[in-house]
Amino acid sequence: MTKILKSYKGIPYEVAKQKLETLLDALDVVLTGQSYTIGSRTLTRANLNAIQEAIEYWSDIVSKCESGCGGVKVQRAIPQDF
């Protein structure tokens, strides 16, 4: 059983999961009609590339929390001459 981290890089798991779900919902909305034109006016709802980049970012954080990986662990070593 994999342990889920409570946070990663100071971002709580629940916040990251909620952001990811919100972005996936936004992606669905954008894909169904990113922009439309009435007469000479055009309305663009959102930047698809920005949403996709944000999904990658939050997905990475969620997956790291779910995998239980805490990232890089730093250890101290003192070299000695014998």
What are the sequence ranges of the domains in the chain? 12-67
Mean pLDDT for the stretch of residues 32-47: 79
Q: How far apart are CA 7 and CA 11, in angstroms?
A: 5
Q: How far apart are CA 53 and CA 18, in angstroms?
A: 16
pTM exceeds cut of 0.75: no
Mean pLDDT for the stretch of residues 7-29: 89
pLDDT for position 59? 94
pLDDT at 71 over 60: no
Share of the chain above pLDDT 70, in %: 88
DSSP 8-state symbol, 42: E
HSE of 33 in the Cβ direction (CA atoms, 13 Å)? Answer: 4
